[in-house]
Amino acid sequence: MRVSIFTRVRRPLMNASEVLLVEDSAGDALLIRQALAESPMLVHLHIARDGEQALQILRERDFKPDLIILDLSLPKLSGYTVLEFCPEKTPVVVFTASQSENDESRALSLGAREFVHKPMGVQDYKTTVCRIVRDHAGFMP
């Protein structure tokens, strides 16, 4: 099941950025959704719960994400497999609990723009998510 969430915030004249979140953890998805809802950015958040669903969403002709936030550890298909099929022009940020240098090296070699370790504290987590979206989805300060 595809989850699509439109987060309205303070700048109604701005076009919403289309962000695809590929995350199997309901808790992490909720934190990301809350972080974006509390930010001054207008984001249309689409959530895929596994790698297979992410590829289905990416194959939709009318869906052109401005940013993909991708976990590596996913059911059905790995984050690496998803990364191989992501559109070249779309920035992909790997957002993962992995601390492995091999994971980071492999993700970057497959085209990820950034490899971010998930922070432990809730506020740090929210701040990091907002920075990722601001830096990679084309928002102006």
Specify the CATH class of 3-136 in words.
alpha beta
Report domain extents, the chain.
3-136
pLDDT at 141 over 60: no
The 10 Å CB-count burial string (b at 16+, else e) for 34-68 is ebbeebebbbbbbbbbbbebbbebbeeeeeebbbb
Q: Which one is predicted more confidently, 116 or 41?
A: 116
Residue with tokens 């980071």: 104
Spatial contact of 83 and 112, defined as CB atoms under 8 Å apart: yes
Token pair listed for 18: 């289309």
Say whether pLDDT at 1 is over 50: no
pLDDT of residue 14: 56
Residue 109 CB burial class (10 angstroms; 0-12, 13-18, ≥19): exposed
Chain-wide mean pLDDT for the chain?
Answer: 88
Q: Say what the pLDDT of residue 137 is.
A: 87
Q: What is the pLDDT of residues 31-55, one digit of tens each?
A: 999 999 998 888 999 999 999 999 9
The pLDDT confidence band at residue 6, using thresholds 50, 70 and 90, is: very low
What is the three-class DSSP state of 90?
A: coil
Rounded mean pLDDT of 112-123?
A: 93
Q: Six-digit token pair at 107?
A: 């993700």
- What digits encode the pLDDT tens for the residues 56-110? 999 998 899 999 999 999 999 999 999 999 998 999 999 999 999 999 999 999 9
